């Protein structure tokens, strides 16, 4: 049975559903499943389950689903890859990426580059920004395939069971990643587990589902995209909006209601949704006046009001920093060479000073670029007696916790712009930004720019 809607320019080709059912039942038999089993399950449809008649929007159909799918096919790999890159930027080789031990899900580690200095700003900005912007598209895609989530029987063959299992990974994975990601940038750690651990494993669940889904659906997506022209759709008004042709996918309403919005209207709605999210988010990374619009990012806003005029991740009070320990009693300890060196702040200020414009890019979704002045880390390494360290362990006055210490790679210590900063924008660094001295390194994840530095241990 083939029903073509009156205005579908290029009717699509498909097999009649009954053929498909037969195939599936045959498949099942071939895999050792009694053919009658599927029919028996088919007859036991739960009474409350929506039926194929429940879904009446005339917009639903494989073309629309494929348009959303194509957008996600481009965006999701970018979000995924930048997320995995951010994991590597955290320094898994030092056990400081979270989760530290991921068994066989271990990524190939490499030394995170220091050039360009905005590299981490880019990867985390793309990951968080694009991840938020695609939410309306993900919702639209889920809406468009809704009828398929309720088909009965849920699967007709082994192949279909596997396909449907992959959907659980895909949909469960993406919803989980979006939910945990959004909560993280709102600093809302409501769950009783580590955000990073959950988000990392959730990503692999999603990746598995995504790969299977793309492998299974890509040819179909391409075929359906060709079934009508995008320009044609954009020229079609609501009054002329007709359902796509009924097909075996079960996406097209069998009993369509009249259109309440055109397809171009639906596409515009989703597009504007994404644009709105973009406007509300991008300012956290781009900065300047756009920051005022970044309503979705709590830390990015109102930053101008803070000391030194840029966002503070955690104040000295919140970090439990004893102001007395940062006063004249403060000493920087350098170890790793044959003897330990101790310097007070005056001695540091007497060393050769270097100025660099570098970003702090926080994985929680904001960044800010400032002009830092201080002592080069490589000069401190030389002073400690290790001129070519392979790594350096920086410790804070803030003891313990995720911010108490961070390990830097050799290339990060040796970069000419890597500083133990004493000043920012020509002023002494404020207590909240890490006085007496803090780390600032090109392309380093924000979290490893340790504030209130107490000691540095160079390793070779």
Q: Catalog residues that contact ligand MTE under the rule CB under 6 A.
A: 311-314, 319, 360, 362, 396, 398, 403, 433-434, 446-447, 449-452
* Residue 412 structure tokens: 């990060």
Q: How far is the C-alpha of 176 from the C-alpha of 389, rounded, in Å?
A: 41
Q: Which is nearer to Mo ion, 185 or 266 (CB)?
A: 185
- Minimum distance between the CB of residue 459 and ligand MTE, rounded to whole angstroms? 20
Q: Which is nearer to ligand MTE, 114 or 370 (CB)?
A: 370
Name which position in 261, 447, 455, 460 contacts Mo ion (CB under 5 A). 447
In angstroms, the Cα distances linking 367 to 111, 275, 297, 303, 360 are: 22, 20, 11, 11, 5
413 and 381 in contact (C-beta within 8 Å)? yes
Q: Which is nearer to Mo ion, 362 or 414 (CB)?
A: 362
- Residue 314 near which of ligand MTE, Mo ion, none (CB within 5-8 Å, type-dependent): ligand MTE
325 and 347 in contact (C-beta within 8 Å)? no
Q: Which is nearer to Mo ion, 35 or 447 (CB)?
A: 447
- Minimum distance between the CB of residue 202 and Mo ion, rounded to whole angstroms? 20
- Minimum distance between the CB of residue 13 and ligand MTE, rounded to whole angstroms? 55
Identify the DSSP state of 398.
S
- Residue 398 near which of Mo ion, ligand MTE, none (CB within 5-8 Å, type-dependent): ligand MTE
Identify the DSSP state of 307.
G
Q: How far is the C-alpha of 434 from the C-alpha of 429, rounded, in Å?
A: 7
At which residue do the structure tokens 């481009």 appear?
A: 74
Q: How far is the C-alpha of 311 from the C-alpha of 308, rounded, in Å?
A: 9
Q: Which is nearer to Mo ion, 387 or 407 (CB)?
A: 407
- Minimum distance between the CB of residue 353 and ligand MTE, rounded to whole angstroms? 19
Please count the residues of this chain forming the interface with Mo ion, following the rule CB under 5 A. Answer: 3
- The values of phi and psi at residue 429, to 5°, are -60, 135
Q: Which is nearer to ligand MTE, 263 or 438 (CB)?
A: 438
Name which position in 446, 449, 456, 458 contacts Mo ion (CB under 5 A). 446
337 and 385 in contact (C-beta within 8 Å)? yes
Residue list 341-380, contact with Mo ion (CB under 5 A): 362
Q: How far is the C-alpha of 148 from the C-alpha of 50, rounded, in Å?
A: 10
- Minimum distance between the CB of residue 93 and Mo ion, rounded to whole angstroms? 20
Contacts of 187-190 with C-beta under 8 Å, sequence gap 24+, read 187/298, 187/299, 187/364
- Minimum distance between the CB of residue 90 and ligand MTE, rounded to whole angstroms? 11
Chain residue at closest Cβ approach to ligand MTE: 446
Chain residue at closest Cβ approach to Mo ion: 362
- Residue 360 near which of Mo ion, ligand MTE, none (CB within 5-8 Å, type-dependent): ligand MTE
Q: Which is nearer to ligand MTE, 60 or 433 (CB)?
A: 433
- Minimum distance between the CB of residue 85 and ligand MTE, rounded to whole angstroms? 17
- Minimum distance between the CB of residue 314 and Mo ion, rounded to whole angstroms? 9
Q: Which is nearer to Mo ion, 173 or 445 (CB)?
A: 445
What residues form DSSP beta bridges with 409?
A: 391
Mark the segment that binds Mo ion (CB under 5 A) among 136-144, 199-207, 302-310, 439-447.
Answer: 439-447
Q: CB-based contacts of 170: which residues, under 8 Å, 6+ apart?
A: 206, 209, 210, 212, 213
360 and 429 in contact (C-beta within 8 Å)? no
What b/e readout covers 120-138, taking b as 16+ CB neighbours within 10 angstroms? bbbbbbbbbbbbbbbbbbb
- Residue 311 near which of Mo ion, ligand MTE, none (CB within 5-8 Å, type-dependent): ligand MTE
Q: Which is nearer to ligand MTE, 38 or 330 (CB)?
A: 330
What residues make contact with Mo ion under the rule CB under 5 A?
A: 362, 446-447
């Amino acid at each position: 049975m083939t029903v073509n809607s009156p205005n579908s320019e290029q009717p699509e080709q498909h097999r009649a559903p009954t053929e498909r059912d037969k195939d599936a039942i045959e498949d099942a038999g071939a895999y050792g499943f009694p053919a009658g089993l599927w029919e028996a399950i088919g007859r036991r449809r739960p009474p409350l389950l929506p039926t194929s008649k429940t879904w009446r929007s005339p917009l639903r159909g494989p073309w629309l689903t494929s348009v959303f799918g194509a957008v996600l096919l481009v965006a999701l790999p970018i979000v995924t890859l930048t997320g995995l890159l951010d994991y590597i930027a955290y320094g898994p080789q030092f056990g400081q990426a979270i989760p530290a031990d991921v068994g066989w899900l271990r990524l190939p580690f490499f030394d995170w580059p220091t050039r360009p200095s905005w590299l981490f700003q880019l990867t985390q900005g793309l990951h968080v920004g694009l991840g938020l912007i695609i939410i309306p598209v993900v919702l639209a895609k889920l809406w468009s395939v809704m009828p398929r989530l309720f088909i009965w029987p849920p699967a007709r063959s082994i192949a279909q069971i596997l396909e449907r299992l992959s959907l659980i990974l895909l949909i469960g994975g993406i919803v989980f990643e979006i939910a945990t990601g959004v909560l993280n940038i709102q600093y809302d750690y409501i769950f009783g587990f580590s955000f990073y651990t959950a988000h990392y494993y959730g990503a692999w669940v999603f990746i598995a589902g995504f790969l299977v889904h793309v492998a299974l659906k890509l040819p179909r997506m391409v075929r359906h995209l060709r079934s009508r022209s995008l320009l044609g759709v954009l020229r079609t008004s609501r009054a002329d909006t007709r359902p796509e042709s009924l097909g075996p996918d079960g996406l097209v309403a069998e009993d369509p209601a009249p259109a309440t919005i055109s397809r171009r209207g639906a596409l515009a709605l989703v597009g504007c949704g994404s644009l709105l999210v973009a406007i509300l988010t991008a300012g956290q990374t781009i900065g300047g006046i756009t920051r005022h619009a970044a309503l979705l990012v709590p830390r990015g806003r109102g930053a101008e009001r803070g000391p030194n005029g840029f966002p503070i991740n955690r104040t000295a009070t919140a970090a439990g920093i004893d102001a007395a320990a940062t006063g004249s009693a403060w000493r920087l300890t350098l170890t790793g060479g044959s003897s330990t060196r101790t310097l007070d702040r005056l001695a540091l200020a007497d060393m050769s000073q270097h100025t660099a414009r570098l970003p702090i890019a926080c994985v929680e979704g904001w960044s800010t670029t400032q002009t830092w002045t201080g002592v080069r880390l490589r000069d401190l390494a030389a002073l400690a007696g290790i001129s070519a360290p392979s790594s350096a362990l920086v410790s804070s006055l803030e003891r313990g916790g995720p911010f108490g210490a961070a390990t830097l790679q050799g290339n990060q210590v040796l970069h000419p712009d890597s500083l133990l900063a004493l000043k920012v924008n020509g002023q002494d660094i404020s207590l909240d930004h890490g006085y007496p001295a803090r780390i600032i390194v090109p392309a380093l994840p924000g979290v490893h720019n340790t504030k209130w530095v107490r000691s540095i241990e160079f390793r070779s």
